[in-house]
């Protein structure tokens, strides 16, 4: 768990920090933007998005108000909200469309569409699911090849939550 937390960027990272962390692993801006699309499914804990919906200007006010109902200003740290409010259970491009209308749950996600270097890729993926799927697949292969465990040092788990 400690190794995962050391390598996964926190929700508070800005675009420059995200780019640097991905580059340190041999991944580029296209990889970062495509892999972030995995946030089209899943959820985040209130403690990870509270700052964004209460204190930041680059979030749609109605969206922030809606998320504040789930996440009080104090307490409720473990309350969950969907990362992609449009289609939380479908792997699609709605995540990128949400970014374009300032409806990212996490600060780090909204950084991908905030007048910076990833804006063009977000626009591309929001309108071209094929481009997103190709780039996501390629980035996942690159990610999977980072320090893979082989032989007796790793295992393919029958159940991801426990060792065989």
* Binding-site sequence positions: 9, 39-40, 84, 92
- Tokens representing 122? 């977000």
Closest CA to 7 of 33, 25, 19: 25
Per the annotation, binding residues for heme b are 39
Longest dimension (CA), the chain: 52
- Tokens representing 104? 């990212």
Per the annotation, binding residues for substrate are 9
- Tokens representing 75? 């307490």
Q: Is 16 helix (H, G, I), strand (E, B) or coil?
A: helix
Q: CB–CB of 48/146 below 8 Å?
A: no
β-sheet bridge partners, residue 82: 43
**Which residues touch 12 (CB under 8 Å, ≥6 apart)?**
51, 107, 108
Chain position carrying tokens 């996942």: 140
Per the annotation, binding residues for Ca(2+) are 40, 84, 92
């Amino acid at each position: 768990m400690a190794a995962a937390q050391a390598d996964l960027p926190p929700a508070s990272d800005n675009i420059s920090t995200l780019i640097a962390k991905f580059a340190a692993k041999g991944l580029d801006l296209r990889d970062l933007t495509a892999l972030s699309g995995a946030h089209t499914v899943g959820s985040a804990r209130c403690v990870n998005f509270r700052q964004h919906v209460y204190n930041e200007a680059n979030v749609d006010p109605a969206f922030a108000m809606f998320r504040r109902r789930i996440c009080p200003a104090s307490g409720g740290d473990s309350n969950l909200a969907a990362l992609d409010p449009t289609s939380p259970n479908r792997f699609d491009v709605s995540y990128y469309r949400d970014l374009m209308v300032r409806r990212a749950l996490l600060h780090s996600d909204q950084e991908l569409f905030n007048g910076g270097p990833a804006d063009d890729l977000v626009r591309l993926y929001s309108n071209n699911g094929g481009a997103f799927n190709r780039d996501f697949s390629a980035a996942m292969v690159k990610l999977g090849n980072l320090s893979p465990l082989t032989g007796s040092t790793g295992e393919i788990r029958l159940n991801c939550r426990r060792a065989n």
